[in-house]
Amino acid sequence: MRVLGLAVLVGVALAIAGAGQAKTSSSHSRHGGRQGPPASGTRGEFDYYVMALSWSPTFCELHPDEEEQCAHKGYGFVLHGLWPQYDGGGGPENCPTTDEVDKKTAAAALAFMPSRSLINHEWRAHGACTGLGAPDYFALADRAFAAVRMPSEFEAPSQPIDTTADDVRSALKRANPELTDEMMSLHCSRGELVEIRVCLNKDVALQECGKRMQSHCPATARITMPASQARSK
């Protein structure tokens, strides 16, 4: 009986530990502190990049306390992150590094990633795994952000856009004739567009995505892109 009781206690302890690990593990979290999921992968060993372009008005609806991005200036698409990926799915994350993002690099990155907390999080979670230093990683991210042209109707609209995922894809392909459906995925939540993800090679040129890159928006159902409304200081 004592052995059985001990086994039960050990099982409960392991279950609690496992639940704690699952709770702290998340893929591509938007903002995070210094403590994150365990490291995975090896620095510099990956196959291509996923560039995540966040629709800022949707983010700001959910995070009105994010002062730097949401308080004063209206944005349309901003860079969420440039993530190293494997062809088979997933990618390295949280690679050990002693490097930090210096003030000059952060100031330059704010032009396309308008939140210092996001800049620091993305460097620790993803940038450090590229094998690049922080200045080179964010310079590459700047080039990647400029590599995809945004349709004029998506440039910080003052009114909500009622559309479909298929229409968003079509608009992106008109603005970028070399872009195909196999090179991007769309992500929605509660009927609103959250993010577009575009696949790029290591020179940040468009390429087809690897396995497990799937869209999470209904193709033809109506979705909303909330208006980009700047607030006065």
- Residue 135: burial class (beta carbons within 10 Å; 0-12, 13-18, 19+): middle
Task: Pick 102 or 155 by higher pLDDT.
Answer: 102
**Using one digit for the tens of pLDDT, what is the confidence trace for 76-112?**
999 999 999 999 999 999 999 999 999 999 999 999 9
* Predicted TM-score of the model (pTM): 0.81
**Rounded percentage of the chain residues whose pLDDT exceeds 70:** 81
**DSSP per-residue string spanning 68-81:** HHHSS---SEEEEE
Three-class SS state of 108: helix
Stated as kind and residue range, the H or E segment containing 26 is: none
* SS3 letters across 109-144: HCCCCCCHHHHHHHHHHCHHHHCCCHHHHHHHHHHH
**Using one digit for the tens of pLDDT, what is the confidence trace for 13-56?**
444 333 333 333 333 445 444 445 678 889 999 999 999 999 99
CA separation for the pair 37, 25 (Å, rounded): 5
CATH class of the domain whose range is 45-225: alpha beta
